[in-house]
Structure formats: C-alpha cells, structure tokens
Structure 1
Amino acid sequence: MNQVITFGEVLMRLSPEGNKKFIQADKLEFYFGGTEVNVGISIANFGENVKHVSCISNDFIGDTAIAYLRKFGVSTSAIVRSNRPLGVYFLEVGAVMRPSSISYNRSHSSFSEIEPSMVDWDKALRKGKWFHWTGITPALCKGGYETLKAGLILAKEKGMIVSADPTYRKGLWKYGENAKDVLNDLMNYSTIFIGGINEINEILETNFNDSNDDFIEASKALINKFPSIEKVFDKIRTAINASWHKIRARMWNGKEFRETTDFEITHIIDRIGTGDAFAAGLIYGLQKFDDYKSMEFASAACALKHTYEGDVNYATVDEVMGILDGNTSGRFNR
C-alpha cells in the first residue's frame, strides 16, 4: 500500500531546436509528457513506486510512449489502448521578452475516448496510497471527468490521500460541462490542495487577491466548503522575463501560514512541466518531511526542472537536497 497513482493523458510534444520558431526550423525534437505523467515520472525519479492510468494509441507511437514510462520505472499495467492517435502539442520556446507559444492537437486523441468502463479502478488502486489528479483531465472530455470521478470515489473509500491540482484553463472546457461545477464535485474527494488564488476564486466564485492575508482567508474558505481538504499549498512565480523567473511557495495547513524564500532562475532552459515538478516534490515531501520542509523540497524541485529540456523533471532526491543545502553555483561534481 505505498503506490502513487496518477491519471491523465499522455502527449507527444514537438518543438524546433533551441528557441527557434517553426518557420525557422527544418527539423523537430519530440518529447513525451502530459501534466499527470510529468508528476508520476518525477516521483519515480525520487525512488517511489508509481502507476500511471491512461488511454494510449494502439500503434508504434503508443508503444514508444509506454516504453518511455517504463524506462523510469512507472507501472503501465493500468493503461488501456485506443485506435485513435496519441495527442500532440506543438511548442515554440520563447526567450527574454518573447513568450513561448503552444498549439494543441488533442480533441480526437486516444485519451478523448476514455470511459469509466475501460478502467478497472479496483485493480488499478489495489496498492495505492496516494492518488493525484489535475483539472486538465476533466476539462478534456466528459469521459475523462466521469472516469476520474469513479477513481476518486474508490480512492476515498480506500482511505487514500488525494491531491488536487485544479489547473483551471478556460480554453480546454469545450464539451459542455461547467468547469466550476465539475471542479466543485471533484474537490469533495480530495485531501491536499495544490493551487493558488486564481484556482480558489474559480472554484468558490470569490475575489481574493494575491496577498498572504487573502491567501490565508481563501484557504480557510476552501477548507470550510470542502472539509476533506486538510492543507493548501501554492507555488508563486515572479517573471522578470521569459528567461528569468523567481519561485517560492506558501501554505496554510489549517494551523499555520508559512512561506519559503525565492529560488532565482536566471536562465530558463525549459519552463514546461515546472508546476508538475512542484506537485511531485510536494507529494514526495509530504510522505517524508514536515509541511514546511516538503514545501521547500517542492520549490527546489520546481527550480531544478527549469534546467532540463523536455516535459519531465529528471532530478533525484540528492540533487534536490543539494539545492536546499545551498549548492546553487553550478560547479562540477567530482
């Protein structure tokens, strides 16, 4: 009973090399990812037992995606297959004052075919201790919402820890369900909230601002509406430009407010998946450390992800702890 379960779409990312626009490029690099996949692989890189649940294309691209997950030790035993193609997104990586740009091709992907009857949740959760979900999955399709809800109901019955990262993105909700209603429904099965003021305002229809005082009041209001939620964690990003950001975190655990100091990333290699790295660090940390140390670990993991190309955080526990110990000069390890 020590497995972390993630559920969501597996995507292929296509990007020109470096910071080129597509019109400049004559060849592309590809990576596999997806919000929940990124979380799962990162936790596996920390040495934990992880299973990913999804629906993947029944072709050589799907085979390659599954092999990619297995390379990191992520169990794929609960993945089902579809004759539809794997979802794809295209990314132009920005620099300095030029922002990055993303275009998705996932409306008719293999994951869009997911239905509750396709996933044996009792088997998938048999060794589960922790279930992680994000607002991306229920935003994609009704089957994603219904399948996720079925998993969450069983996870709650089994007494699993459930972390929720609502990740509200207005442009994804196209199949007719109301985002607020769906997220409110799913929050009833969650125990850890990973999100900021924007997500809380969307769920509660409130107008809290970004101040620490408002964050505390927003967290209290969230816990009051959803008593199953025990702790609220928020990653704060300050962008100087597309290449230079600062990261810190804050929390309300029902008893106290704490905030970390900033990690400064002065040359971002790849921003994709950094929020997922924070969530993964938090999930790992809360199983090993106290709340504040968990938040520090998550922030350091997030900062490190900015230094890796691709969607996934390749950092190990020792590397994250090295950042927390102040080893941020980038000197050679010999």
Structure 2
Amino acid sequence: MGQIITFGEVLMRISPRGNKKFIQSNMVEYYFGGTELNVGISIANFGSDVKHISVVSDDFIGKTAISYLNKFGVNTSSITSSKRPLGVYFLEVGAVMRPSAISYNRSHSSFSEIAPSMVNWDDALKKGEWIHWTGITPALSKGAYQTLKEGLVKAREKGMVISADPTYRSGLWQYDQDPKAALSDLLNYSNIFIGGINEMNEVLGTDYGYSNDEFLEASKLLIEKYPSIEKVFDKIRTSLNSSWHKIRARMWNGSEFRETEDLDITHIVDRIGTGDAFAAGLIHGLRHFDDYKAMEYASAACALKHTYEGDVNLSTEEEVMNILGGNTTGRLLR
C-alpha cells in the first residue's frame, strides 16, 4: 500500500496536571498535537506509512516537535521551518459537570505563514495513496487554504483517495475568505466525507436535524451536490457529563445506511483528539475492511483515545481489534 499524507499545523499543548485550572497550579505538562497530525500518528501506530507536511519553528521547540513525529515513524521530510514560533494552545481539563476550556495562541505561528511555494507537492506526494484534510487548515490563513488546494489538485491528478473532515470553527476564519465557499471548493476534490449534520448544514446551507432519517437525506443531497464524494461517515457523541460519554457511528455509502452500537466510556481520561482518532481509524479501516467494519474500527479507536492523556491515540491495531472482539472489561493483560 502507498503512503498516507496529512497536512496541517503542529501545535504544542500546555495544561496543568490533572483536572486543575491554571490558577491552581504552577506545574504544567506539554504535548504535541494538531488535528491532522493526530490523524497521521494514529495511522502510523496502526502500521501504515505516513508522511506529515507542515511548517514548524526554527528553534529547539520545532526540532523537538519533529523528533516527536519521528518517534512514531512519521515521515517528516516535507516539513519546513520558519522564524515564527510554533503555535500553542492552553487546556484546562474539565470533570463531571465542569467542561474543559481551551485558549489558542496560533494567529502568528510558523504554520500560519505557509504559502504554496513552500511545498513541493510533486515530491511530497510521490509515494502517496491517500491524503486527508480538515476544515481547520484552510481556516488559518489564505496561504494555508491555497497550499492545501494545490495539494488536493495534485492528489486528484495522481488518482489518490482524498478524505475530508470539513470541521467548521467560526473563530478561526479571521482573513478575507468566505468559509462556506472555501470548504465547498475543497470538497469538490474529495471522495470520503467524515462529518456530521453540522458540517453538512454548513456547506449545504441547510438546517437538517440529527435523526437518522435527516442524516440520510442530508448525505444524499451532499453526494448529489459534490459528485466526487462516494461515502459519508458520522461519529455521534452522547454526553452524560464531562467524564462519561457514549460513542457510536453511522454511514451512507451510496447504497446502504448502517449504524454501530454505542460504546460506553464511563471515565474519560482525555477527550482531545478523539474525533481525529475516529478519522484515523476510519481511514485505516477503509483500506483493510468493508465499510461497516471500518466504521466499527473507527468507533473503537475513538473510544480508546479517551483513555490516553495527550492529543494522540496511541492504540495499536491489535488493541482496537480487542475492543471489536468484545474485550471492553479492561482486565489486566499478562
């Protein structure tokens, strides 16, 4: 199989230990993450060849970030450096009825100044089979949007599979670009849609609800409007409180609607990056299994991510398959 390509910002996450607020503590932990990076590392942990494309700071923080990716076997040969600092975000982890809180410091980060001339897409995609993008990257800057579009055009010319998670976050779009137009533009190059009703309503200009019937109706309209899209996958989260969630998934693949059973997560360690874990599990699953099993694999990968601190799902394929086999008791492995 060919290489999986991810493209996006590398961020440093800074958090007080445990569930403390910053005002309670002068001791913090840091992790590296970023939506597309989280997807790439997770897929690498499943055993695939992955390359991440980005721009990091030209200092010891940027070098440490590259070392972090290399530790998981991710190819970093297409990552360049900049005199601007690495993007940072601050996280206070909530508990029970208290939600988590995030503050970003990424407006003038190293990645925000990226331009198409900084990525040699012909070289970067040489071994590529699949490229994954999200709505976070085109929201960051015009250069990020233009660079991503150029990469998708090249990937389409090469016949690569293109998966899209067009997450819309209104607070990120701070430059002169209509978000709906930009996301719609990029979806014209995409084959796999990973997103729910909110994302479909954003690009379609509709107001569908969350029922299965409306999901199916929205999915059919999405495929009609964007003929390159072949399959739609949606992760559904039911939140009982900040510490107890349920995860399931549903799909429309152009001919069949299916839905998985709920996976109960009764004690969340860290929910950051769980959607990325779902996307990574789905990409891995679609390359190895049928659509329904791929969706089950994605849900199990997502559920497991809730048990790891940090942004990245550290689970292996064997560990995900254990969950699919019904081993959800957490009994000690000897």
TM above 0.5: yes
Which residue matches 1:176? 176
| Pair 1:22-2:22 in alignment | yes
Letter in structure 2 aligned against 1:146: Q
Which residue matches 2:160? 160
For residues 84 and 2 of structure 1, the distance between their equivalents in structure 2, rounded to whole angstroms, comes to 33
Please state how far the C-alpha of 1:248 moved relative to its aligned partner: 0.1
Q: Deviations over 1:32-76 (max 9, x none)?
A: 000000000000000000000001100000000000000000000
Query: What are the residue-to-residue correspondences of 1:206-217 with 2, within 5 Å?
Result: 206-217=206-217
Which residue matches 1:199? 199
For residues 99 and 187 of structure 1, the distance between their equivalents in structure 2, rounded to whole angstroms, comes to 32
Number of matched pairs: 334
| Pair 1:234-2:237 in alignment | no
TM-score using structure 2 length:
1.00
Which residue matches 1:108? 108
Letter in structure 2 aligned against 1:207: D
Letter in structure 1 aligned against 2:252: W
Please state how far the C-alpha of 1:26 moved relative to its aligned partner: 1.1
For residues 173 and 109 of structure 2, the distance between their equivalents in structure 1, rounded to whole angstroms, comes to 15
User: Which structure 1 residue ranges, 4+ long, deviate > 4 Å from structure 2?
Assistant: none
Letter in structure 2 aligned against 1:205: G
Query: What are the residue-to-residue correspondences of 1:26-41 with 2, within 5 Å?
Result: 26-41=26-41
Please state how far the C-alpha of 1:289 moved relative to its aligned partner: 0.1
Please state how far the C-alpha of 1:207 moved relative to its aligned partner: 1.0
Q: Deviations over 1:274-303 (max 9, x none)?
A: 000000000000000000000000000000
Letter in structure 2 aligned against 1:173: W
Which has the larger displacement, 273-282 or 169-178?
169-178
Partner of 2:308, secondary structure, is coil
Please state how far the C-alpha of 1:117 moved relative to its aligned partner: 0.3
For residues 175 and 245 of structure 2, the distance between their equivalents in structure 1, rounded to whole angstroms, comes to 35
Which residue matches 1:219? 219
Which residue matches 2:185? 185
Q: Deviations over 1:227-273 (max 9, x none)?
A: 00000000000000000000000000000100000000000000000
Query: What are the residue-to-residue correspondences of 1:175-324 with 2, within 5 Å?
Result: 175-324=175-324
Please state how far the C-alpha of 1:144 moved relative to its aligned partner: 0.5
Letter in structure 1 aligned against 2:117: S
Letter in structure 1 aligned against 2:112: S
For residues 266 and 157 of structure 1, the distance between their equivalents in structure 2, rounded to whole angstroms, comes to 45
For residues 70 and 83 of structure 1, the distance between their equivalents in structure 2, rounded to whole angstroms, comes to 22
Which residue matches 1:81? 81
Please state how far the C-alpha of 1:13 moved relative to its aligned partner: 0.1
RMSD: 0.5
Which residue matches 2:124? 124
Q: Deviations over 1:85-119 (max 9, x none)?
A: 00000000000000000000000000011000000
Q: Deviations over 1:196-244 (max 9, x none)?
A: 0000000000011101011011000000000000000000000000000
For residues 91 and 66 of structure 1, the distance between their equivalents in structure 2, rounded to whole angstroms, comes to 22
For residues 178 and 101 of structure 2, the distance between their equivalents in structure 1, rounded to whole angstroms, comes to 26
Partner of 1:236, secondary structure, is strand
Letter in structure 2 aligned against 1:309: E
For residues 217 and 93 of structure 1, the distance between their equivalents in structure 2, rounded to whole angstroms, comes to 36
Letter in structure 2 aligned against 1:159: G
For residues 112 and 131 of structure 2, the distance between their equivalents in structure 1, rounded to whole angstroms, comes to 21
For residues 327 and 75 of structure 2, the distance between their equivalents in structure 1, rounded to whole angstroms, comes to 33
Partner of 1:109, secondary structure, is coil
For residues 311 and 279 of structure 1, the distance between their equivalents in structure 2, rounded to whole angstroms, comes to 14
Please state how far the C-alpha of 1:176 moved relative to its aligned partner: 1.6
Which residue matches 1:48? 48
Partner of 2:288, secondary structure, is coil
For residues 229 and 103 of structure 1, the distance between their equivalents in structure 2, rounded to whole angstroms, comes to 34
For residues 328 and 200 of structure 1, the distance between their equivalents in structure 2, rounded to whole angstroms, comes to 32
For residues 324 and 191 of structure 2, the distance between their equivalents in structure 1, rounded to whole angstroms, comes to 27
> Which segments of 5 or more consecutive residues in structure 1 lack a partner in the other structure?
none
Q: Identity of counterpart residues, as a percentage?
A: 75
> Which segments of 5 or more consecutive residues in structure 2 lack a partner in the other structure?
none
Which residue matches 2:11? 11
For residues 12 and 219 of structure 1, the distance between their equivalents in structure 2, rounded to whole angstroms, comes to 35
Partner of 1:130, secondary structure, is strand
| Pair 1:66-2:75 in alignment | no
For residues 208 and 92 of structure 2, the distance between their equivalents in structure 1, rounded to whole angstroms, comes to 33
TM-score using structure 1 length:
1.00
Letter in structure 1 aligned against 2:33: G
Partner of 1:287, secondary structure, is helix
Letter in structure 2 aligned against 1:248: R
For residues 278 and 104 of structure 2, the distance between their equivalents in structure 1, rounded to whole angstroms, comes to 23
Letter in structure 2 aligned against 1:273: G
For residues 169 and 320 of structure 2, the distance between their equivalents in structure 1, rounded to whole angstroms, comes to 29
